[in-house]
């Protein structure tokens, strides 16, 4: 049991002071959890492209100083008023979105887009009192997507924490709290390919490879990877990808190439790039009569795309997904169990590991496009 219950904890955190500048390891004060909040000790965190995106702050409101980080695994240190389903010592995955269990979305079997806790990238404070739980010398440091896992301790709303099997290794399953579950769920929960079917995956980064892993688990017989970077093709074989298409190798649109390869189109496609051209191709490459395309990649906020309505009238379906349609508290524990019973392989997503003091190395690797996930060990 922690001796710090109800007290401010002083610990190390990697603070982003300004856009695009290296993070600085600072001593921060972490306030105790307020109503419906939980303070957790982070043991492992990993870097996701979203962290880099908001650190660069090129297309977003710059919110600094800020503690980034949202893919992680930790242990509950203390709980605030009203928290009943977590207690100190529980193993948890913090999630950038949440599940209040009371709104219309949470009560719907079809949605995971909680009214109260869905992702808000501009908010740098806690919902309860609109204040930050982090400070340096009494001056607030802002939160990031309600998680801020680049800190030895952080405070998170109870609705954004998935309680998981304590036997699951946190240095592995921490990557399930964002990108891997997003891609996996896009395939398993939304595209739902049948055994023996064909699936095209657009974009072979971590999310796209997780979507391919979902297709492999579902028993798809052909998994076609589409990417402009041919260097990604060899690694993708480990995730079940059977064929590769580089749009740069053809003069005609890639959807036509895929239609020719598959006698009229694939049964399912999953788009993981966020680029408009890829979205159109992903939709237009599915077979008429039964094809389903799922959009996962997040586009530029002003982006629009166009396609002929005839594509829809010919019985193609276009769907979107958010966090793989997983409800964080209800569904993530079962994704961890998929790993524990060896149905899902997580190790192959983890290509690098660094101690917390070298967190900027993880940013360098991602900016160079090297590897998939870099685990950051907090105990260093």
Residue tagged active-site, from 106, 174, 285, 374: 106
**The 3-state secondary structure of 228-250, one letter per residue:** CCCCHHHHHHHHCCCEEECHHHC
Residue tagged active-site, from 114, 160, 174, 374: 114
Is 100 designated active site?
A: yes
In 109-139, which positions are buried (b, 16+ CB within 10 angstroms) versus exposed (e)?
Answer: eebbbbebbbbeeeebbbbbeeebbbeeeee
CA distances from 367 to 20, 55, 302, 360, 372 (A): 11, 12, 24, 11, 11
Is 160 designated active site?
A: no
- From start to end of the chain, where are the E strands? 9-15, 24-30, 37-46, 71-79, 91-94, 134-136, 139-141, 153-157, 161-163, 198-202, 222-226, 243-245, 268-271, 292-295, 317-320, 350-355, 373-377
Report long-range pairs for 351-360 (Cβ below 8 Å, ≥24 apart): 353/377, 355/380, 356/12, 356/14, 356/25, 356/152, 356/380, 357/25, 359/14, 359/23, 359/25, 359/47, 359/150, 360/22, 360/23
> Which of 270, 250, 263 minimizes the C-alpha distance to 200?
270
Residue tagged active-site, from 10, 18, 27, 49: 49
DSSP code of residue 157: E
Is 222 designated active site?
A: no
Residue tagged active-site, from 29, 34, 71, 99: 71
Residue tagged active-site, from 143, 152, 174, 178: 178
Is 275 designated active site?
A: no
Residue tagged active-site, from 26, 48, 99, 187: 48
Is 49 designated active site?
A: yes
Is 178 designated active site?
A: yes
Dump the DSSP string for 360-379. Answer: HHHHHHHHTT--SEEEEETT
Is 287 designated active site?
A: no
Is 106 designated active site?
A: yes
Is 285 designated active site?
A: no
Q: Find out whether 305 and 281 touch, Cβ atoms under 8 Å.
A: no
Is 11 designated active site?
A: no
Which residues are designated catalytic?
Answer: 48-50, 70-71, 100, 103, 106, 114, 118, 178, 373
């Amino acid at each position: 049991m922690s001796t710090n219950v109800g007290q401010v904890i002083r610990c190390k955190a990697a603070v982003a002071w300004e856009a695009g500048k290296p993070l600085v390891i600072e001593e921060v004060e972490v306030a105790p959890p307020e109503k419906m909040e939980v303070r957790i000790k982070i043991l492992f965190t990993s870097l996701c492209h979203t962290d880099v995106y908001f650190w660069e702050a090129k297309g977003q409101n710059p919110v600094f100083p800020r503690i980034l980080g949202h893919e992680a695994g930790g242990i509950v240190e203390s709980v605030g008023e009203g928290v009943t389903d977590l207690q100190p010592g529980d193993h948890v995955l913090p999630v950038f979105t949440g599940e209040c269990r009371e709104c219309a979305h949470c009560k719907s079997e079809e949605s995971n887009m909680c009214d109260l806790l869905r992702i808000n990238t501009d908010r740098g404070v806690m919902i309860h009192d609109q204040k930050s739980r982090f400070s340096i010398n009494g001056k607030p440091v802002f939160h990031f997507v309600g998680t801020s896992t680049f800190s030895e301790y952080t405070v998170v709303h109870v609705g954004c924490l998935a309680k998981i099997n304590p036997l699951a290794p946190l240095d592995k399953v921490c990557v399930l709290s964002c990108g891997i579950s997003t891609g996996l769920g896009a395939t398993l929960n939304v595209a739902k390919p049948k055994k023996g079917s064909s699936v095209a995956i657009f974009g072979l980064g971590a999310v796209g490879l997780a979507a391919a892993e979902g297709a492999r688990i579902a028993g798809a017989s052909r998994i076609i990877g589409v990417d402009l970077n041919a260097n990604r093709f060899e690694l993708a074989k480990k995730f079940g990808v059977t064929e590769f298409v580089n749009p740069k190798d053809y003069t005609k649109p890639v959807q036509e190439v895929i239609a020719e390869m598959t006698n009229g189109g694939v049964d399912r496609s999953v788009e993981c790039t966020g680029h408009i051209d890829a979205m159109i191709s992903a939709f237009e490459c599915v077979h008429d009569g039964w094809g389903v395309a799922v959009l996962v990649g997040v586009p530029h906020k002003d982006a629009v795309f166009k396609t002929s309505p005839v594509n829809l009238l010919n019985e193609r379906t276009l769907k979107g997904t958010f966090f793989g349609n997983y409800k964080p508290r209800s569904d993530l524990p079962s994704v961890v169990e998929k790993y524990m019973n060896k149905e899902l392989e997580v190790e192959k997503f983890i290509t690098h590991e660094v101690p917390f003091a070298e967190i900027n190395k993880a940013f360098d690797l991602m900016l160079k496009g090297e590897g998939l996930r870099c685990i950051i060990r907090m105990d260093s």
